[in-house]
Amino acid sequence: MQELRQRIVLTEPEEMAAQPVSVLITGANRGLGLEMVKQMVEAPRPVTKLFACCRDPDGPRAEALQTLAKKNSNIISVVRLDATDLCSIKLCAQQVGSVVGTGGLNLLINNAGVLAKGTVQETSPEDMQHSFNTNVMGPMNIIKEFLPHLRDAVKASGMPGMSISKAAVVSISSLLGSMEALKQSYAFLPAASYRISKAALNMLTVCAAEELKKDEILFSLLHPGWVRTDMGGEEADIDAPESVQGMLSVMASLTEKQNGAFLDYKGQSIPW
Q: Does 57 bind ligand NDP (CB under 6 A)?
A: no
Q: Does 58 bind ligand NDP (CB under 6 A)?
A: no
Pairing of strands 227-228, 218-223: unpaired
Dihedral pair phi/psi, residue 143, rounded to 5°: -55, -50
Pick 166 or 223: Cβ nearer ligand NDP: 223
Pick 25 or 150: Cβ nearer ligand NDP: 25
Give the binding range for ligand NDP (CB under 6 A) out of 3-11, 37-45, 222-230, 259-267. Answer: 222-230
Pick 103 or 225: Cβ nearer ligand NDP: 225
The total of other beta-carbon atoms located within 10 Å of residue 58's CB is: 10
Q: Does 56 bind ligand NDP (CB under 6 A)?
A: yes
- Judge residue 118's burial from the number of C-beta atoms within 10 Å of its C-beta, 0-12 exposed, 13-18 middle, 19 or more buried: middle
Q: Which amino acid is at 179?
A: M
In whole angstroms, how close is the CB of 253 to ligand NDP at the nearest point?
Answer: 20
The H or E element that residue 91 is part of is helix 86-100
Which of 90, 236, 245, 267 is the binder for ligand NDP (CB under 6 A)? 236
Tell me the sheet residues that pair with 227: 238
Which residue's C-beta sits nearest to ligand NDP? Answer: 31
- Of residues 176 through 205, those in contact with ligand NDP by CB under 6 A are none
Q: Does 227 bind ligand NDP (CB under 6 A)?
A: yes
Measure the CA–CA gap between 174 and 217, rounded to whole angstroms: 22
Which of 20, 57, 103, 232 is the binder for ligand NDP (CB under 6 A)? 232
Which of 93, 224, 254, 261 is the binder for ligand NDP (CB under 6 A)? 224
Query: On the CB side of 74, how many CA atoms lie within 13 Å of its CA?
Result: 6
Pick 165 or 173: Cβ nearer ligand NDP: 173
The total of other beta-carbon atoms located within 10 Å of residue 117's CB is: 13
- Of residues 66 through 105, those in contact with ligand NDP by CB under 6 A are 82-84
CA-to-CA separations, 181 to 175, 186, 188, 272, in angstroms, rounded: 7, 9, 12, 8
Which of 5, 38, 55, 166 is the binder for ligand NDP (CB under 6 A)? 55
- Judge residue 2's burial from the number of C-beta atoms within 10 Å of its C-beta, 0-12 exposed, 13-18 middle, 19 or more buried: middle
Q: Does 142 bind ligand NDP (CB under 6 A)?
A: no
In whole angstroms, how close is the CB of 21 to ligand NDP at the nearest point?
Answer: 24
Would you say 180 and 64 are in contact if contact means Cβ atoms under 8 Å apart? no
Tell me the sheet residues that pair with 23: 50, 107
**Chain residues that interact with ligand NDP, rule: CB under 6 A:** 26-27, 29-33, 54-56, 61, 82-84, 111-114, 134, 172, 174, 223-224, 226-227, 229-232, 236
